Amino acid sequence: MTRVVHYLNQFFAGIGGEDSAGVGPGTAAGPVGPGRRLGALLGDGFEIVATVWCGDDHAAAGDGVAAEIVAMAAEAKAELLLAGPAFGSGRYGLACARVAAAAEAAGIPAVAAMHEDNPGVGDAGAAPVVGVGPSAREMPAALDRLAGAARTVAAGRVLTPAGGRVGPVPRRGVLAEAPAAARAVDLLLARLGGDRERSEVPLPSFDRVVPAAPLADPAGATVVLVTEGALVPDGNPDKLESARATRWQRYPLDGLDRLEPGAWRSVHGGFSTVWANEDPHRILPVDAARDLEREGAIGVLGSEYLVTVGNGTAVATARRFGVEWADDLRRSGARAAILTAT
């Protein structure tokens, strides 16, 4: 009999709506809300022994929360963790994905359920994501798909795209029989022979980004400078990495009309930083922004700038930084950001 723990957000757990989005993780014995129907669909051989929930905002806040939630599932002796369905809800989807990823990493098989366009589909790590409809109106069908995926995973089989899997399938390093150069020659001769489909690397698909509505009037707005050019105060006091960023930093621009060469440097490892170090404005255009602020073309230049390094930085990390920067900027009252990219 497989012991299942079900993860839900604050809304589906019956805690509250948007007003409760900041609530921390909680748990109850047995199924809650849609978990009851899910339990019935799973049938004999499965039991939802506990439900864990968390507010969407709290879950989106940091890495530690997913671990906390998985610890609660482990306490209930979970043998399988099911998260969602999150449908099209972005924060819920990200939370489900991260919880499923953390569960897998902790040795508990997991499945997350959400719509294929949900930004969370790429964040589930080694855990599979099963595709469901975009809105909660389709809850019955969604629970059906989640139950089906759960049965596949519990049987030790891998959920495939044919079985409803959405999002990327993990790619793992292996040693091939022949060196890459020899395989390239094989692939080239195959292509010359008419095979135009064969490739070791599939073409990627990217997120669809919904553009923000335009600013009505920049003259009244706070505009913030942000960059992945790794421009930091000389000495790199917070040790920003030169490649494969794991974090981002913020530094004050208050009272600065311009950036003095020598007081700033770029620690980016992906290009020659000679020009940037000669004149930091080539990475962060503080001088031009201040001029425009003085002239009233923008309301206020942000009192800080945000910085990371875009050199071999994982896409999932960059995506997370983007979400965190957006949150940070929104809270500080910024209406627009200018991102300089190298």
Least distance from C-beta 55 to other proteins, angstroms? Answer: 26
Site membership for other proteins, residue 236 (CB under 8 A) = no
Least distance from C-beta 70 to other proteins, angstroms? Answer: 15
Phi and psi at residue 177, in whole multiples of 5°? -70, -35
Site membership for other proteins, residue 244 (CB under 8 A) = yes
Q: Which H/E stretch holds residue 26?
A: strand 26-29
Tell me how many residues contact other proteins (CB under 8 A).
95
d(CA 178, CA 175): 8
Site membership for other proteins, residue 342 (CB under 8 A) = yes
| DSSP label at residue 76 | T
Site for other proteins in 120-149 (CB under 8 A): 122, 124-126
Site membership for other proteins, residue 185 (CB under 8 A) = yes
Select the residue interacting with other proteins from 275, 296, 332, 333 (CB under 8 A): 275
Least distance from C-beta 64 to other proteins, angstroms? Answer: 18
Select the residue interacting with other proteins from 47, 68, 138, 287 (CB under 8 A): 287
Token pair of 128, please? 């599979």
The rounded radius of gyration (Å) of the Cα atoms in the chain is 24
Nearest to other proteins of 82, 289 (CB atom): 289
Q: How many residues does the chain have?
A: 342
Residue 285 Cα distances to 163, 238, 264, 299, 301, angstroms: 50, 22, 13, 16, 11
**Hey, is 73 helix, strand or coil?**
helix
**Residue 129 bridge partners (DSSP):** 112, 166
Select the residue interacting with other proteins from 17, 43, 64, 179 (CB under 8 A): 179
Site for other proteins in 40-99 (CB under 8 A): none
Nearest to other proteins of 29, 199 (CB atom): 199
Site membership for other proteins, residue 188 (CB under 8 A) = yes
* Count of other CB atoms within 10 angstroms of residue 143: 24
Site membership for other proteins, residue 331 (CB under 8 A) = no
